[in-house]
Structure 1
Amino acid sequence: MADQETGHARDTMVPIEAIQTVDPEVIAKLPPAIRISIIPHGISLWTRTARLDIEHDDGVYKPYFLKTSSGPLGHAMTQSEFQCMSRIRDIAPDLVPTPIASGTFSSLPDAHFLLCEFRCMTGTVPPPPALAARIADLHRRSGDSGGGGGGTAKFGSDVPTFHGNVRVDHDWSDSWEEYFARTTKALLELEQDAQGPNDEIREMVTPFFDKVVPRLLRPLETGGRSIRPSLIHGDLWHGNAETDAETGAPVIFDAASFYAHNEYELGVWRQPWNEIGEAYRKEYHKHMPKSQPEEDSDDRNALYAVRVNILDSILYKDDPSYRKMLISGMRELVDKFPGGFEEWNALQQKVA
């Protein structure tokens, strides 16, 4: 999510009272305490965030992080983030702040919260070797565990995720190509609704989904090749990764996790605005080899970046730059692969 770090809760409808006093429902999720204080902490769009400082009844002081939201959308967002962060923590416990609970305020019935461990950060993005190694480890471990769909190696998720405040519904698919095509078509329709119809995009829809997507994704799962679903963060730009001030280790947050081709995580690492860029992709592939066919790796990354551009074009509908990047990315791939999978497959058979 390419936020320009504009200011606290610019578009939020969350009442300020949500981070001025500690609601009883939040207190109920905490260990017994004799003293609790709350102060605003951090910058977040569509939400308000705060730090809780707790003196427990055993005399131990401990901080917690509170994110608050409002309305049905806000409720869904906090529930989704809690589930996504919990799934990552189950696989890589130190990589994310420990999620504790999500719920609804009793004093403000239309306000909702996510409560988690507070981690002191340096304010800096982890260096490429450290972050790339941890993300590769997350992908590898989750792939080894059997993937999504109750251990049946499916792509997608039973939890809706959010790109900013844009809801993404996933569901499950046996094939990565089917998952990607189905959900990306739905997102592209949302983009047309958000930005208004665009003839150039609409003219590219058929070749993009009939030629480009099969050409770049079908070879991953045919010809004796296969990929395993990996749990990904889902929106790993530089605003969602920092360095732990105590340990120096990478910490990621604001997850929008689902089970995907592991290389999809790197689509947002192609974006020109993202400080997590090419150096991180190179480091990542030192730990996770490129999927076969390896020669398609960069074009697959460009395809995944197109989907990121679709999401950003929906989210930042008043900024034309994201739609321009979307059109440019689609055009490059449509022009490069007019023959689709059929042409590529025929060539492979000739070579064989």
Structure 2
Amino acid sequence: MGPTSKDVWNQKIPVPENTISYVDEAIRKVLPSGLQIEGISASGESYWARTAKIKAIDSDGNEDSYFVKVHQGEHGKTMVSAEYEAMKTLYKLAPEMVPKPIAWGSFEDMPDIHFIVCEFHEMRKDALPDKTDFPAMVAEFHKRSASPDGKFGYPNPTFGGKNPQFFPLSDTWEECFRKGMEGCFAAELATHGPDEEFQRLTKLTLEKTIPRLLGALLEADGGKIVPRLVHGDLWEGNCSVDDKTGVPMIFDGTPLYAHNEYKLGPWLCPRHRFPDHIDEYVKHFEASKPKEEFGDRIELYCLRFDVHSSSLYAGNLFFRSVAQETMKKLVEKYQLDEGPEREKASGPRLETGILSGK
């Protein structure tokens, strides 16, 4: 099954549909006073939650709308609280690009149902932020988002889909990324079970590829990689364009303080639609040294998203096979495998601009 298989995407949403058929009293209480609610209707898409638009009139008689996302169960409660904190972090630094988070809580009518509410922005349907301005805006955001305490990582777990991900606060990017990858690999293994070759390459990636690539990054940069806040999962499903203003918007963040290039990982994935955005980004935020290893670093960061995706979909080995090819290619390129000769990996997944040395 490929990444767009109906068996993968057309799963039943694990939240009752009637949770977005009315506005629970708990939601009403966190909205502005004097607000007259006119209705609620399904809006947006999610594989794991129910999402809706609350249409209202404010105290001055103006139209006002809010976006609500609903999850169920204790796991869902953790998800909405984590998303609220994550979006607050992003909104504080990029209010021009992030819908303002309002609150999170639990339904009064159904205490097992949990919600997050934020400002509503009407998005252009199927609109991908243009490469002429979006990469520049993201680069400028990264430039002003240096960690206040010099730490990498994020203090709380965040959720990519239904699965948690955790990049612990760390003194070095190598340590932070390795520990985050350990969690991703463990979740993937729990979903799909053991595989000798995949686990061999996982071990080599954690013990050799990550130290080799990120160690060289640290050495070339004089040991002064600046941890910068990144969105954490910026693909076309988590960004769009405001229909009224034309301004790119980002949402569903899983932020962490990271090497800024980590943010480019999902842009490399062929299943996403950002092949030219990477080259535009480095025009505004220069690639780190050693520049000749830029493409391989982005492959390593993209690996994180492939492994996490694999952990989400039991029975679909597409993402595992893609991740395995990436690990194999990097291990072979840097001669990190001292074992017997293995089948050669395929070439780079994307040939464009700086990634191919053009």
Instruction: Provide TM-score, normalisation by structure 1.
Output: 0.90
Q: Secondary structure at the match of 2:262?
A: helix
How far the C-alpha of 1:4 sits from its partner, in A, is: 4.4
Matched positions, count: 332
One of 249, 258, 261 as aligned partner of 1:260: 258
What's the counterpart of residue 52 of structure 1? 54
How far, CA to CA, are the matches of 1:189 and 1:35 in structure 2? 45
Q: 1:5 to 1:126 in 2, by over 3 A?
A: farther
Residues 71-97 of structure 1: CA deviation (Å, up to 9, x unaligned)? 111111111111111111111111011
What's the counterpart of residue 28 of structure 1? 29
CA contact 1:81–1:161 (8 Å) conserved in 2: yes
How far, CA to CA, are the matches of 2:330 and 2:109 in structure 1? 52
One-letter amino acid of the structure 1 residue matched with residue 20 of structure 2: I
How far the C-alpha of 1:169 sits from its partner, in A, is: 2.0
What's the counterpart of residue 124 of structure 2? 122
CA contact 2:55–2:64 (8 Å) conserved in 1: yes
CA contact 1:8–1:43 (8 Å) conserved in 2: no
CA contact 2:165–2:183 (8 Å) conserved in 1: no
Matches for 1:197-276 after TM superposition, within 5 Å: 197-222=194-219, 224-276=222-274
Q: Secondary structure at the match of 1:157?
A: coil
CA contact 1:207–1:338 (8 Å) conserved in 2: no
How far the C-alpha of 1:115 sits from its partner, in A, is: 0.3
Q: 1:44 to 1:237 in 2, by over 3 A?
A: same
One-letter amino acid of the structure 2 residue matched with residue 201 of structure 1: F
One-letter amino acid of the structure 1 residue matched with residue 274 of structure 2: I
Does 2:182 match 1:178?
Answer: no
One-letter amino acid of the structure 2 residue matched with residue 130 of structure 1: D
One of 259, 284, 290 as aligned partner of 1:287: 284
What's the counterpart of residue 350 of structure 2? none
Q: 1:289 to 1:3 in 2, by over 3 A?
A: same
How far, CA to CA, are the matches of 1:259 and 1:140 in structure 2? 12
Q: Secondary structure at the match of 1:129?
A: coil
Residues 11-61 of structure 1: CA deviation (Å, up to 9, x unaligned)? 323222211111111001111223431111122111001110111232122
What's the counterpart of residue 88 of structure 1? 90
Compute the RMSD of aligned alpha carbons: 1.9
How far the C-alpha of 1:168 sits from its partner, in A, is: 0.8
Q: 1:86 to 1:264 in 2, by over 3 A?
A: same
How far the C-alpha of 1:9 sits from its partner, in A, is: 8.5
Matches for 1:29-178 after TM superposition, within 5 Å: 29-32=30-33, 33-123=35-125, 124-143=127-146, 147=147, 151-178=148-175
Matches for 1:3-18 after TM superposition, within 5 Å: 4=4, 10-18=11-19
How far, CA to CA, are the matches of 1:233 and 1:15 in structure 2? 29
One of 171, 189, 193 as aligned partner of 2:190: 193
Q: Secondary structure at the match of 1:282?
A: helix
CA contact 2:229–2:255 (8 Å) conserved in 1: yes
How far, CA to CA, are the matches of 2:235 and 2:244 in structure 1? 22
Q: 1:209 to 1:5 in 2, by over 3 A?
A: closer
CA contact 2:168–2:180 (8 Å) conserved in 1: no
CA contact 2:204–2:336 (8 Å) conserved in 1: no
Q: Secondary structure at the match of 1:114?
A: strand
One-letter amino acid of the structure 1 residue matched with residue 96 of structure 2: D
How far, CA to CA, are the matches of 2:5 and 2:56 in structure 1? 29
CA contact 2:157–2:165 (8 Å) conserved in 1: yes
How far, CA to CA, are the matches of 1:10 and 1:211 in structure 2? 38
Q: Secondary structure at the match of 1:155?
A: coil
How far the C-alpha of 1:10 sits from its partner, in A, is: 3.7
Higher mean alpha-carbon deviation, 4-13 vs 177-186, is at: 4-13
CA contact 1:8–1:48 (8 Å) conserved in 2: no
What's the counterpart of residue 302 of structure 2? 305
Identity of aligned residues (%): 36
List runs of 5+ in structure 2 lacking aligned partners. Answer: 338-358
How far, CA to CA, are the matches of 1:303 and 1:285 in structure 2? 17
How far the C-alpha of 1:8 sits from its partner, in A, is: 9.8
How far, CA to CA, are the matches of 1:3 and 1:242 in structure 2? 21
Query: Structure 1 segments of 4 or more deviating over 4 A?
Result: 2-9
CA contact 2:232–2:263 (8 Å) conserved in 1: yes
CA contact 1:302–1:329 (8 Å) conserved in 2: yes
Matches for 1:308-323 after TM superposition, within 5 Å: 308-323=305-320
List runs of 5+ in structure 1 lacking aligned partners. Answer: 341-352
Q: 1:153 to 1:185 in 2, by over 3 A?
A: same
One-letter amino acid of the structure 2 residue matched with residue 139 of structure 1: H
One-letter amino acid of the structure 1 residue matched with residue 47 of structure 2: L
